[in-house]
Homo-oligomer: A and B are copies of this chain.
Amino acid sequence: MSPVRFRFSPSRRVTQTLRDLARRRPDEAEIYLEEHQDEWELLAETVPEDAADILEALDEEGAAELLTGLPPDDAGEVLDEMKPEAAADVLEELDPATAAHLVEEMEPDQAADVIDALERDEREAVLAHLDPEVAAEIERLLAYEPDTAGGMMTTDVAALPVGMTAGEAIEALRRLHDELGSNLTYVYTVDERGRLVGVVPFRELVFARPGQGLDELVVRDPVAVTPDTDREQVVELIQRYHLQSIPVVDDERRLLGMVRFGEAIEAAQAEAGEDLAVMFGAGEEESVFTPVRESVRRRLPWNLFNLVAGFVTVFVVAQFEDTLARYALLAAYMPLVAGLAGNSGAQAIAVTIRSIAVGELPPGRELRAVRRELAVGLVRGAIIATVGALLVAATVALLAPSPNPGQETVGPRELAEIIWLSMMVGFLVAALAGSSIPLLLRRLGLDPAVASNIFLTMTTDAVGFGSFLLTATLLL
């Protein structure tokens, strides 16, 4: 269940301990690290990922103090590993000149994300203090939407002219080694105008003879994306072709940067999490860091939509006022049917959306998927409706021992019949609606998750309450 600890060197074990301490008792961790500056510097230099975790757990002030105690290049690497929002919180503690100095040490893509997360005033102050060239690059990256290839790419790329030999390429790469670090996974070859020609897998460089031309090793016409390519598609291409990174080019095929697979993992998580949020009309990018005002702005339209959609149910139920006036107890059992149908439909939606997301639902399989859900709904309906009817028959005597004057009683058997029939209808409608709503939304060119659940609730509420009251009206 756990990663292998016994293989960790002592320093890694110490790191783990410090990380855990920082999460549980941040103040103690802060004091310890401030008193053990050497240990902190070693940690930041060797495992910036863990140093980033520790800073994220501390309060902003303490984190800022520890960060500025590091050599600038190490501080830059730690900032690279922090969540952009958390890194921005820490930089806001520093004066703009110091913050700008640290931002210059960061990877351009992460630097842009952090600048984007700064408060407006602070952002402008930091940009003003940045080296003009770095500022220009960051502003260029900021222009891309975060959920596009442009927003995901790094501009630190190994690009070599075609026409070099393998030996010359290795010499050139040796010089880039320190600067590019772990970005040095693929080498892209470009022509004299900077246009992407091909890609040389590192593996091939290992096996090449020094005099061999790069053009013999290069894979021509590599899959590439433009900055406006959607995040989802970037992930699909990286995954489909098992790429460690995918090049980003402009309209004239000039190499602009590359998206690394790590970004693709994060994007895959974000995309899938997005479905969950979007399904209920929470914001796509919303998190516990999102300001209240922003959250309200994002969710309110769906709440309003839900309010208006809810009137469908109000009108349906209102049609049965006579029945309800005669048998008030029915109102107590009514929500049971709609609630079960709603949850059962949401199960169908969840499975359908996930199958769409992983590409298992091409147009040809749509009808089969709906039929399958109907079958699942029929079987579950039969079981749950029967159990439900029995439970209802058992409780009706408990809940209505003596009817009120002017009220008519509903017998256990009659109520059981009403429950059974309307639950069956509810389960079937839920199966149909839950599987077809996301597919219909996709057909309309919309995100299948968007508001699926609100449409579903509208349907299952109206049908659930309606079929319950209609059955009651007919049977009683």
Interface residues of A (CB under 8 A from B): 1-4, 6-9, 12, 23-24, 26, 49, 57, 83, 170, 173-174, 177, 182, 184-185, 196, 202-203, 205-207, 220-226, 228-230, 233, 235, 237-242, 244, 249, 253, 260-262, 264-266, 268-273, 275-277, 279-282, 286-290, 292, 295-296, 299-300, 302-304, 306-308, 310-311, 313-315, 317-318, 321-322, 324-325, 328-329, 331-336, 338-340, 342-344, 346-355, 357-358, 360-365, 368-369, 372, 375-376, 379-380, 383-384, 387-388, 391, 395, 399-400, 404, 406-407, 453-454, 457, 461, 465
Contact of A311 among B344, B363, B391 (CB under 8 A): B391
Cβ distance A56 to chain B, nearest Cβ, rounded Å: 8
How many copies of this chain does the complex contain? 2
Which label, helix, strand, loop or mixed, suits the secondary structure of the A interface? helix
Nearest residue, chain B, Cβ from A315: B399
A376: chain B residues within 8 A (beta carbon): 292, 295-296, 299
- Cα distance A193–B259 when bound, in Å? 39
For the complex of A and B, 6 pairs with smallest distance between CB atoms: A272-B272, A325-B328, A317-B332, A273-B354, A282-B347, A324-B328
Contacts A372-B292, A399-B315; is A357 near B273 (CB within 8 Å)? yes
Whether A457 lies near B228 (C-beta < 8 A) is no
Whether A244 lies near B244 (C-beta < 8 A) is yes
Q: Could you write out 28 A-B pairs with CB less than 8 Å apart?
A: A3-B226, A7-B221, A7-B223, A23-B362, A23-B363, A57-B364, A174-B207, A239-B266, A242-B260, A261-B265, A265-B268, A268-B268, A270-B358, A277-B351, A286-B351, A287-B354, A290-B351, A292-B376, A299-B344, A303-B340, A307-B384, A310-B340, A311-B391, A314-B335, A317-B335, A318-B332, A318-B399, A342-B457
Whether B321 lies near A400 (C-beta < 8 A) is yes
